[in-house]
Chains A and B, each alone.
Chain A
Amino acid sequence: MLRNIFFSILFIFLLLFSWQILQSRIDKERITNNETSLEAFIPTPLTIAKTFLSDGKNILKELSHTLKKAFLGLLLGVSAAILMASIFLFFPTIRNLTLPLAFGINSFPIIGFAPAIVLIFGQGSLLSIIFISALICYFPTLISIDTAFKATDKNILEIMEVLGASKLQTLRIIHIPLAIPYLFLSLKLAIPASIIGATIGEWLGAREGIGQLITIALYRLNPGILYSSLISIALSSTLIIAFLSLLEYFLFPWQRKRNIKK
């Protein structure tokens, strides 16, 4: 595992190094030909690193605002999805009636749907940003958990029936533990989605957060800040997912233990 991480970092470093060399050469030629430097549109990795050094504190402050909203959105979206999947399990008629509708709503592009949410909850309001973030991670989680519940081993359900278990007991003892790997998988998809959702919410008129910083960088034609903000989002998302994977590794040992006894 450590070897893989090392090679991934080495690969990224080589990629950035090649980007730096290539862009410097292109820029040299463009300046000789009296053309605008590429640096005005696409900053080199070195410029991004310098921006991080000079404006890092500000970027991190704005990022923390975004992550807080994304976390609340994630919590709301995932909890609502688990609750809805449980309702689907107990009442299959509700599932059959509402799931096609859920797929329909999910087909709306979030970038088009977000202004409608802003109209309801108010521009830049905490609630609208949390709601956009929750909405974007709600559907993948719902589909994942619903699939997990539907895929539960029929034999074990029959055993629970023979034992006279209540539906709630079956949910707690069988369905939820068996859905844990699916939940973690959906969280890995929902975490970046919730950050994207919060960023989109901030674009539409927030006074703080990385989305607002990106908008300012765009208007001020500051690609350094723009790229640094984007990279900070990607990095934070990756780090949270890595932490989640680590958590999964230690909390659920049965997933990694294999064939001690033949």
Chain B
Amino acid sequence: MKPLITLKDVSFNYYENKKVVGGVNDINLDIYPSEIISIIGPSGCGKTTILKLISSIISPEKGEITYQEKCVGLVPQEPSLLPSRNVRSNIELPLEVKKIKNEERVDELINIVGLKGFEKLYPSQLSGGMKQRVSIARALVYEPKVLLMDEPFSALDEIIRERLNLELINIHNKLKQAIVFVTHNIEEAVFISNRVYVMSGFSGKIIGKVDVDFGREKSIEDKFTQDFFSGMKNVRQLLKRGYA
């Protein structure tokens, strides 16, 4: 199978007074159709930078990124909804930008993310979890090939986070978009992904990957299996190396 997006030896640095203050180096990554990959690493290691590179918000200094089709959706850490628009209108935003009319797609996504009946509410009337679901629906409405999610559930409590992890898996099972999921939560990364990439805190490099696709349905019961524990253990060991 051909990857949708390939990052080959990609580097990008941030500068302050001509000194490098952060960035990513020699990133090699393949994103295949319908898979979920997670990128995990210490704060400031460059996880978000990888998403910005994939979405072309920034361009690599070295290396290259090739796309089978350049069509990505972005889900930021904060839902960043427009306060003057209701749920439906926020979801329709990308269609408005791209001048497309697709009422059925909006209806379908409202159903999938479980917001039927709440279409007319404004963001100030929604809970944190509901806002994040609107943000996911907004990113999916124009049918991107790859969904880029930047720590989308990090501000939510453990119970809501777990529920949204399950909902994300349900959405993925229905729509089959590839997902690149950035997180700093080991359990979350192992639970939702097929592969977990671990980054180092100092070099901004990927120091290893852990295959956690052990032929499962991704239900909550997985969290009590030996495979899940060993997946977590492997990611944790790599992360320790990243911190060292």
Contact = CB atoms under 8 A, between A and B. Distances in A.
Given A159-B138, A161-B57, 19 more contacts: A155-B76, A155-B77, A155-B78, A158-B57, A159-B76, A159-B139, A162-B55, A162-B56, A162-B57, A162-B73, A163-B98, A163-B142, A174-B82, A180-B84, A257-B122, A258-B125, A259-B124, A260-B125, A261-B118
Of A155, A156, A165, A252, the most chain B CB neighbours within 10 A belong to: A155
Contacts of B83: 178, 254-255
Contacts of A174: 82
A262 interface: yes
Of A159, A252, A261, the most chain B CB neighbours within 10 A belong to: A159
Is the contact region of chain A dominated by helix, strand, or loop, or is it mixed? helix
Interface string A238-262: 0000000000000011110111111
B80 A156 contact: yes
Contacts of B122: 253-254, 257
13 contacts: A158-B57, A159-B74, A159-B80, A159-B93, A159-B139, A173-B97, A174-B82, A178-B82, A254-B83, A254-B85, A259-B125, A260-B121, A261-B118
Contacts of B72: 162
B126 interface: yes
Contacts of A177: 82, 84-85
Top-7 shortest CB links A-B: A155-B76, A155-B80, A254-B122, A260-B125, A156-B80, A163-B97, A165-B97
Given A156-B82, A174-B82, A261 B130 contact: yes
Interface in A125-171: 153, 155-156, 158-165, 169
Of A259, A261, A262, the most chain B CB neighbours within 10 A belong to: A261
Contacts, number: 74
Contacts of A261: 118, 121, 125-127, 130
Given A163-B94, A177-B84, A158 B76 contact: yes
A155 B150 CA distance: 11
B82 A258 contact: no
Interface in B136-189: 138-139, 142
A158 to B, nearest CB: 6
Given A162-B72, A163-B94, A164-B97, A258 B124 contact: yes
A255 B123 CA distance: 10
A179 to B, nearest CB: 11
Contacts of A178: 82-84
A262 B127 contact: yes
A132 B201 CA distance: 59
Interface string B60-100: 00000000000011101110101111100000011011100
Nearest to B98: A163
A161 B57 CA distance: 7
Nearest to B130: A261
A114 to B, nearest CB: 38
Interface of A: 153, 155-156, 158-165, 169, 173-174, 177-178, 180, 252-255, 257-262
A165 B142 CA distance: 14
Nearest to A174: B82
B97 to A, nearest CB: 5
A178 B81 CA distance: 11
A257 B98 contact: no
A21 B138 CA distance: 65
B198 to A, nearest CB: 25
Nearest to A256: B124
B97 A160 contact: yes
A205 B56 CA distance: 61
Nearest to B83: A254
A156 B123 CA distance: 14
Contacts of A164: 97-98
A180 B142 CA distance: 28
A164 B73 CA distance: 11
Contacts of B74: 158-159, 162
B85 to A, nearest CB: 8
B27 to A, nearest CB: 19
A150 B142 CA distance: 28
A260 B121 CA distance: 9
Contacts of A259: 124-125
A262 B55 CA distance: 33
Of B56, B84, B130, the most chain A CB neighbours within 10 A belong to: B84
Contacts of A153: 78, 80
Contacts of B73: 162
Nearest to B77: A155
Contacts of B98: 163-164
